[in-house]
Structure 1
Amino acid sequence: MASDLQQQLAASSLYDAESLKAFNQMYNSSQNPYGNGFDKNYPASALPFFQHFAPYTNPNATASSFSPSGSSTSSTSSQQHQHPTKKKPVPVPAEQKDETYFERRRRNNEAARKSREARRKQDNDNGTRVIQLEQKDEEIAIY
């Protein structure tokens, strides 16, 4: 397994013997105040992992197969967020239209009417607030 990985690294374009050599020297040197490893808190068993660290390479990928425009981050950010669609109304058969059905419809219609009125009132309030703020802006701009 390890030799397969080493062969893949050697064959890949990301393998750089000089940088790996420098990496190993940096963490094996006696000048490191904490001894072996990145930090004094790292156990000695973690050292082999850090010594053999190399970027992941896909052995099946070619050097020109990666395209930043085709990466997943750019494709997801360019997609439009779609709002959930409204549920389609299902007609209620005439035999199921009893007193509770009509009461439910009456309450729903009343709630919809109140919601529309509240939205209109809020829009009107926002419009008057915008006009007031624009007038204040003009007054400030005069000075």
Structure 2
Amino acid sequence: MHLGHSLEAMAKEAESKGKIYEKILRALKAGESKGGDRRGKQSAAIIVVKTVDKSEKEIDPLIVGKYVDLRVDDSQDPLKDLERLLDLWVATFIEEEMVNVKDYENQIRQALNKWGYNDLRTWVEMNNLEGKYTGDKIGKTVLKILLSKE
């Protein structure tokens, strides 16, 4: 594939709606789907910085703070691994929609059985995700991690 196709696909995703880290991941995936880097794939990263003072018109490298800094190196599937890390980051640090556990009861039970857990609370605690579990509700990304666990 021609590099232009990859860049066009990436630009389209970068201009879409969503949180910046989601748009970056979608842009990386879009570029990969259009041929990616001709040298192959081995690593992927998402770094998002923010200014300390919103009145700043330009980013001053001496005062920026890193909002997201995730990187995968030496991987057979770096974008898949980067998405897994991003999900863990969101599940740990970002406020998100909570969903009713009862609405996913069957899928949750199957996932817990598959991975050898007796109950959801134990899985949540073993994965340090207590901040996104109330007993009745669970964070959407935490649920995604549980249901997609390989």
Q: Same fold (TM over 0.5)?
A: no
Please state which structure has a larger fraction of its residues in helix.
1
Higher relative contact order (CA 8 A, sep 6+): 2
TM-score normalised by length of structure 2: 0.20
In terms of Rg, which structure is larger? 1
